[in-house]
Amino acid sequence: DTAVSQTPKYLVTQMGNDKSIKCEQNLGHDTMYWYKQDSKKFLKIMFSYNNKELIINETVPNRFSPKSPDKAHLNLHINSLELGDSAVYFCASSQGAGTKSPLHFGNGTRLTVT
Amino acid sequence: QKEVEQDPGPLSVPEGAIVSLNCTYSNSAFQYFMWYRQYSRKGPELLMYTYSSGNKEDGRFTAQVDKSSKYISLFIRDSQPSDSATYLCAMSLPSNTGKLIFGQGTTLQVKP
C-alpha cells in the first residue's frame, strides 16, 4: 500500500505541450505539497494545500496550476512546457500544515521536456 | 548565497565507519531541523527531527543542532551498505505552513 502515489512515474514530452501529474495520499492527511527537485538535487517547494485551500504559492510561473479536488488529491497541471521544466516533481503530504508534522513524500514523477 | 548549504559529496566510507554529515544555514529564525534520506529513484523519507538546539539519538543515528553556530550534523555509527543514499537536511521557521528549506543533499556510499 503506497501512502503517497504519483502518476505517471515518467513523463517525456515536447516543448509547448500541456501535461498533468496526479497525486493521491491514503494517509488521511489534510495537507499536501508539490516540490521540485532539479538536476543538482535541490528540493524546492512549489505549492501547498491545506484542506483544499492554497496556503503556499512560491514564485512559480503561472504555467503551473495546482488543483486539489479533495483532501486526498493534489494534481499539478503544466501549460506550455519548457526545457527548464525538466526535473523530478515530488508530491508530499502531512497531518496539519505546521512544521511539527513530518512530510511523507511520493516517489516522484520524472519529467523530461525535449 | 543559499539559505542552507550542504556539501554534495560524494562521500565514500568503508562499512563500519562513523559518518558525519553537516549543513550550515544563514537564517537564525529556523527552529525545526530535519534529516531526510533519499534512495535512488525514490522520494525522501524522514530520518530525524529536532526542535531548536540539542542532540537526538535514534539507533545508529544522532542528530545535533548548534543554533549559535547555525550548524547541524547527522552522525551515523557502524555504517552499513544499506545506508548508501543521499542525505538531505531540511529546516523551517516556526510558522504554520509546513514549508521546508532543503540543503542540496550529500551522497553517501558505504562500501562493504
Q: Tens digit of pLDDT for each residue in A19-69?
A: 999 999 999 999 999 999 998 889 999 999 988 888 888 878 999 999 999
Contact (CB<8Å) B43/A92: yes
If pLDDT is split at 50, 70 and 90, which confidence band does A113 have? Answer: very high
Indicate if the pLDDT at residue A1 is higher than 70: no
Interface of B with A in 74-103 (CB under 8 A): 86, 88, 90, 92-100, 102
A92 Cβ under 8 Å from any chain B Cβ: yes
Q: How far is CA A56 from the centre of its chain?
A: 12
- CB-based contacts of A25: which residues, under 8 Å, 6+ apart? A3, A4, A5, A32, A72, A73, A91, A93, A104
Compute the average pLDDT of residues B56-71.
95
Cell numbers standing for residue A68: 486539489
Mean pLDDT (chain A, rounded): 92
How many C-beta atoms surround the C-beta of residue B12 within 10 A? Answer: 12
Cis peptide before A69 (omega within 30 of 0): no
Q: What is the pLDDT of residue A51?
A: 86
If pLDDT is split at 50, 70 and 90, which confidence band does B51 have? Answer: confident
Contact B58, A19 (CB under 8 A): no
B44-55 per-residue burial string, b: 16 or more CB within 10 A, e: under 16: beebbbbeeeee
Indicate if the pLDDT at residue B99 is higher than 80: yes
Contact (CB<8Å) B96/A98: yes
Q: What is the pLDDT of residue A101?
A: 78
Please provide residue B3's backbone torsions phi and psi, each rounded to the nearest 5 degrees. -65, -35
Q: How far is CA A14 from the centre of its chain?
A: 20
**Measured CA angle at B108 (ends A111, B79), to 5 deg:** 135
- Residue of A56, A93, A99 to mutate for B, most B C-beta atoms under 10 A: A99
- Nearest CA to B27 out of B93, B99, B74 is that of B93
Contact (CB<8Å) B98/A90: no
The burial class, CB within 10 Å (0-12 / 13-18 / 19+), for A14 is: exposed
Q: What is the pLDDT of residue A99?
A: 63
Q: What is the pLDDT of residue B37?
A: 97
Indicate if the pLDDT at residue A109 is higher than 70: yes
Cell numbers standing for residue A16: 509547448
Q: What is the pLDDT of residue A63?
A: 95
Please provide residue A93's backbone torsions phi and psi, each rounded to the nearest 5 degrees. -140, 160
Compute the average pLDDT of residues B35-54.
92
- Nearest CA to A68 out of A56, A86, A82 is that of A56
Contact (CB<8Å) B99/A48: yes
